[in-house]
Structure 1
Amino acid sequence: MSKTTDTPQGQVADAVKGNWVDTLAPAPLRPYLRLSRADRPIGTWLLLLPCWWGLFLASASTGRFGWHDAWIFTGCAIGAVLMRGAGCTWNDITDRDIDGAVARTRSRPIPSGQVSVRQALVWLVMQALLAFAILLTFNLNAILLGILSLVPVAVYPFAKRFTWWPQVFLGLAFNWGALLAWTAHTGTLGWPAVILYLSGIAWTLFYDTIYAHQDREDDALIGVRSTARLFGADTYRWMRRFLVATVSLMAVAVIPALVPGGNALAMALALGGAWAFGWHMAAQIRHLDIDDSEVCLRVFRSNRNAGLIPALFLAAAAAV
C-alpha cells in the first residue's frame, strides 16, 4: 500500500482546488475532514437533495409547512453532512487497499498514511452518533427508517466486488432521505415517497456512471466492477434511459401526491420541476466525454444544480 500522496500537503487529488479544508481548517483536523469528503461537497448535496424532494412533496400534498418542517429541512442538511461523512469514512476503511491502487484515490487519508484505520473508526462513530441524535428529534417511523438506512450504507462499499451494478446500491443508500423526510412530515410512509425514491435511484445511476468513468482503466486492472465498465461505449444510450426513468418516475410520484388536493398550480409547478430536471440531464449528456476524466468530473459535479431544480419547483408547489 502506498504511503505517499501525489498532491502536496496531504491534499486529495480530486478535491475542489482551494477548498476550505485545505486553506482554512486547522491542520490536525484536515485528514479527518478529507476522510469525510468535506473538501468535496458535491456528495453531501447529492445525499441531501432527495431529502428535500421528499419533504417538499409531502408538504405540497398536505398543504402545510410548519416550524417542525423547517427543522426537518435543517436537520436533514446537518444529517446529510454527518452521514455522508460517516459513509465516506466507512467506504475508505473498506476500500483502503483498492484506493491505494487507483491513481485518483491513492492520495486519500488512509492509503496515504494520514489517518490509521483505528482513528478512522473512531471518527466514523462520532459522526454517526451525532447524526443519530438529530434523527431522534423526528417521529418514530422516521427514526426506524433512519436506522434501517444503515443496511444499504454498510453494503455499498462491497457491491463493486460482486456486481456490475454497484451504482444501484449507492442509489439505495443516497436516496433514502426521500422516504425519511416524507415520513418525518406525514408520520407514515406513502407510495409517492417510494416512487420518488425510485426516481432518485435512477438519477444516481445516471450521475455515478459518469463519475465511475474517471476510474474505468484502473478499475479494469484491479478487477473492480462498475456500470461505466459494463456500458463502455454504450454509456450514452444508458444515460438517456436513466434520464427517462428519472423524470417519468418523478412525475408518477407527483401525480398521486397532489391530485387529492386539487391544486392545479401546485401540480403544474411540481411536474414542471421534473421536466426542467430532465432538460438539465439532457444537457449533461451533450457535454459528456467519457474518455476525458476532467470533463466527467465537471459534468458529475453539475448534478448539484440538476437536483436543486426539482427541489425548488417542489418548494414552490408547497408554497402555493
Structure 2
Amino acid sequence: MEKDASEAVKQKQKSYLNPPPPGNRSCPWLVICHGREGQRQTFYDVSEYHHHTKIIPDLHDKWICPISSHEWLFTGDRDSGDCCLWNPASLEKIRLPPLEDLACSFCFLSSSPGDPQSYVLVVDRGEDIIGYCKSGEDTFKRHKVEPHISCATMFKGEIFLLLQYCELAIVDIENSELRIRMLGNKDVNCSNPEGIPASRDYLVPSGEDLLIVEEMILLALPMGKIYRFNVFRMNFEEGTWEELKSIGDRAIFLSAHGGISCSPKDSGVKKNAIYFVEDGNGHIRMYDLEDQSISKVSPCSNINYRSSNLYWIML
C-alpha cells in the first residue's frame, strides 16, 4: 500500500515537472513563461481553450527558442549564457557551446541530433549572422549574411532565409563551410495603401507552399496597431511571390520566433485565419482572412503578459 502511494506521488510530481500531454495534435500550444525568473510555464491549448501550468526546472530562468524539429527546443541560461538542445518529451539534453555575443532569433537542426553530421544553426537577425556547429564542438562558427536577414524557416528539409526586398535564399553547409545560395526572386507585388509599410514579415511553411505573411500596422495610432495581414505564396517555377486571398483549411500562428501553419481538425481553431501575439500586452488575437476582422482570444486572465515570454510549439 505504501509503495503504491509513493509511486502515485512520484507520478504526480513527474506530471507537474513535464510539459502536458498533447491534446489536439493538429494544433500548436502557446507556451507562456512567467513568474519570478520565469519559473512557471503555462501551456495554452488554443484548440480547446484550456491550459496547464507547470514548474519545469530545465526551463527555469531560461530563454527559449523553438526549433524547426518539433521535438526539440533551444534553451539558454540567462546568467551563464550556457545553452543546449532540450527534448520536452524525453527530457534529453544536448550541451552546446556558448553563444557569446550571438542573439538567437531562429534556430534550426540540419537533421536529427543523433546524426553525427547534424548541425545546429542559430540565426542572429539583428547582426545578420548565422552561427553553426556540431554537437561536441567548442565554438559556433560564424557567417555574415548580406543583405539584411528579415526572417528564416525550414521548408521541405532546407533552411530558407527571407532577405531584404523579399529575396529568398537557401543555407547550405558543405565540407564544414556554410554558404548562401541566392534564388534571385523578384520583390513582392503588394497592393498596400500608400505610406503604410509592413511592420514585420514572417516566412511560414504551409503544407506544400512557402508563404510570406506581412503584418501591417497603422503608425498614426499610439504604439501602432495591427490592422491587417497580407499573405503571399512563392511560385518556385516563376521565381515570384503571388498574393493569396485565402489559405483554405489551414491556420497560421505567429510569434517573435516565426510562424507555424497547421490544418486544424475537430477543434475550436478557425480555418483561414491567423493567430498572433500582440506586442505590448501579449494577448492573442485572431485575424479572419475572409472578412479581414480581428478578434481577441485571451488565454489566461491571471498572467501578467507584460513580463512574460510567449512562443508556439508543437508537442
Task: Compare the two structures and name the one with the higher strand fraction.
Answer: 2
Is the structural similarity TM-score above 0.5? Answer: no
Which structure ranks higher in relative contact order (CA pairs < 8 Å, sequence separation ≥ 6)?
1
Give the alignment's TM-score, normalised by structure 1. 0.31
Task: Compare the two structures and name the one with the higher helix fraction.
Answer: 1
